[in-house]
Amino acid sequence: MIEQTLSIPLKIYLIQELPAEDIELIEAAKEATFRSYSPYSHFSVGAAARLENGIIVSGSNQENAAYPSGLCAERTTLFYANSQYPDQAVRTLAIAARNTEGKFLQAPIPPCGSCRQVMMEVQQRHHLPMRILLYGTEGVYELANVNSLLPLSFDESFL
């Protein structure tokens, strides 16, 4: 048997340490949480993507009584970006969430497995790294690309 340990590079910032364009993107993700339709979980997630051309698009989680017919904020955002701007790579994706009391989470929320897989596909589609910003009131995690979120990823090379 061989045992290996995988590690990922992660930077943690206070929000005021980030450049203005990153703060703008995080604010767009936070604002998107207020457009969440989450009557069942009462957990509001927002995402915002800055495209190669500088445009910011955003989305929020949308729940449905016929679970799992809803959709996460990350996928809502990325599918919208790809449908409206198919030739524009997503340079940075920011994610924020509010809890059942309506407060932003102290620790950043990571994306679910389905969202990670979609994020990987979007990154591979454009052959450019997609930077990830995960917002928490006590710090912002920065990941250089989706590979950091999904180190053992499934992609087209397996097909």
Nearest to 133 by CA among 45, 56, 26, 46: 26
User: Would you say residue 133 lies in a domain?
Assistant: yes
- Between helix 73-84 and helix 113-126 the angle, nearest 10°, is 20
Asked if residue 158 is part of any domain, the answer here is no
pTM above the 0.85 mark?
Answer: yes
Domain that holds residue 98: 11-115+127-150
Helix (H, G, I), strand (E, B) or coil at 58: strand
pLDDT digits (tens, 9 = 90+) for 6-27: 899 999 999 999 999 999 999 9
Is residue 121 a part of any domain in this protein? no
What pLDDT is stored for residue 155 in this prediction?
Answer: 76
5 in any annotated domain: no
What CATH number is given to the structural domain containing 58?
3.40.140.10
In a domain, 87, yes or no: yes
Q: Does residue 1 belong to any structural domain of this protein?
A: no
What pLDDT, on a 0 to 100 scale, did the predictor assign at position 30? 98
Count of structural domains, the chain: 1
Element spanning 136, H or E: strand 131-136
Rounded Cα–Cα distance for residues 143 and 37 (Å): 28
Catalytic residues: 74
